[in-house]
Amino acid sequence: MDPRPVLIVTGLVQEARIATGPGMTVICSSSDPAQLRALLSTFDPLSIRGVVSFGVAGGLDPQLKSGAVVVATEVMAGECRWLAADALSDELIAGAGIGRQTVFRGGLVGVEKVVTGQAGKAALRSATGAAAVDMESHIAADYAARAGLPFAALRVVSDPASRALPELATSAIKPNGDIDLRKVLRGIARNPSTIRALVSTGRDFNRALRSLRDCRGFFLGQTSLVSADA
């Protein structure tokens, strides 16, 4: 067994905390593609045995509800496609302790900005056939391909295809990947009508995080946590 750790790529600090485990090194990008690329540019690919994208995602397949687990078969971004490594994907499923849940295998599409509206999600689904969308998997897959490393992705649907994300929910992320509660409260004060949408979004997100925790068997223990302010 290769003793080197697996590199886990996340976008939010909550995801990174769940992912920490023995034989894992975790990077948190704060949902900033440029920051993720900068972090990876300084990372030694010889120090790891594979790359896993791990966290929440936006649902594109209308059948997937919040909390649904998606293990990627491939990742798409523009004209580029990266296939997931079957062995590492199977290792994820076998070791993650998710036997109680249905695991959907499907494609992920990577974007540089959050897709908030239902129309945007529907367009991505029509163009790519992907099951879900996130902002890290395409960057992690590209890094793995350039380094000659196996890649896999486990993503849990947070906002389903039928739900639009309020802009405030996507703009209140701190540089360390945490949520800026003061900004959220200021936004609510300026526009109280956003409360209902934020509550629904919060419920979806918490459901997704619970589902991620159910997958944590692959990540249990302690490892190095590399985040934006490290």
Which token pair is 207?
């459901």
pLDDT digits (tens, 9 = 90+) for 151-193: 999 999 999 999 877 665 566 666 555 666 676 666 556 666 6
Amino acid occupying residue 186: R
The beta strands (E) that lie in the chain are given as 6-10, 24-28, 50-59, 69-77, 80-83, 103-110, 132-134, 151-157, 224-226
- The C-alpha atoms of residue 96 and residue 32 are separated, in whole angstroms, by 26
The fraction of the chain above a pLDDT of 90, given in percent, is 52
At 227 the pLDDT is 39
**pTM, two decimal places:** 0.84
Domain positions in the chain: 6-226
- The C-alpha atoms of residue 104 and residue 195 are separated, in whole angstroms, by 32
Q: What is the dihedral of CA 93, 95, 99, 105, to 10 degrees?
A: -10
Split at pLDDT 50, 70, 90, the class of 22 is confident
pLDDT digits (tens, 9 = 90+) for 78-91: 999 999 998 888 77
Ramachandran category for residue 139: left, alpha or beta (phi over 0 → left; psi -120 to 50 → alpha): alpha
Judged by DSSP in three states, 115 sits in coil
CATH code at 6-226: 3.40.50.1580
At 225 the pLDDT is 39
